[in-house]
Amino acid sequence: MSDQLSQLVLIRHGQSRSNLELWISGQATCGGLTERGEAEAGLARDYLATRPDLAPDAVVVSTMRRAIETAEIVAEPTGLIAEQRAELIERIPGDVEGMTVDDYVAQHGTWPGMNWGPAMSPGGEDGVTFMTRVGSALDRVASESIGRTTWVVCHGFVIRGAAHHFAGGDHGAEPPYGGLANASVSVWQQAEASPTWRLECYNDRAHTLELDWGTDSFV
């Protein structure tokens, strides 16, 4: 990897059990990957193996089970062990953690996570708190990745938040970037002479197109 280019490769986890079964999971209740999610992660692994320009110097991962399982699959050919970082977890839902999506909609009249600003429930993160955490986490990774390539295995809201943060968005505003496909790849690059990060690709999921599109969610 040239010392003139820094790269962050953000990889969303494969389909999780909570995605498939439509319940709200958090750090303590994450059910890990489904069989399909493992297949998606395997396809991301195979794709990344064809991209020597994205070969990692380091891998970091959220402490949530679905991300850890994804990182173990995608990073296996590299021989690197992913470093777990709690600051990369998905947005904290609060008291509704473990609730089914149907019950949440019945009580709140909207899909979980659709209202960006307020917390999902008491004990959860509001938009500003979440964006502040994600921005700080990604700044830390970026500072460690000068002249290097780091893979960041994490979550849909985190990758949306990263795009908003690197683009200079207001942490109080909802990120305009769309949802992320399971096992998708997004790449940010920074040239040595530039103070800003440039988006090279966002939500690349071409490698998973051979699979039927499955039920997805942001939590």
Question: 5-208 belongs to which homologous superfamily?
Answer: Phosphoglycerate mutase-like (3.40.50.1240)
Looking at residue 2, its pLDDT comes to 45
Can you give the residue ranges of every domain in the chain?
A: 5-208
Across the chain, how many H-helices and E-strands are there? 6, 6
8 Å CB contact between 148 and 6 = yes
Looking at residue 217, its pLDDT comes to 43
Looking at residue 32, its pLDDT comes to 97
> By C-alpha distance, which of 67, 75, 70 is closest to 49?
75
Looking at residue 213, its pLDDT comes to 52
Looking at residue 195, its pLDDT comes to 84
pTM of this structure: 0.94
Residues of the chain with pLDDT under 50: 1-2, 214-219
Looking at residue 215, its pLDDT comes to 44
> By C-alpha distance, which of 72, 89, 61, 74 is closest to 158?
89
pLDDT digits (tens, 9 = 90+) for 88-98: 999 999 999 99
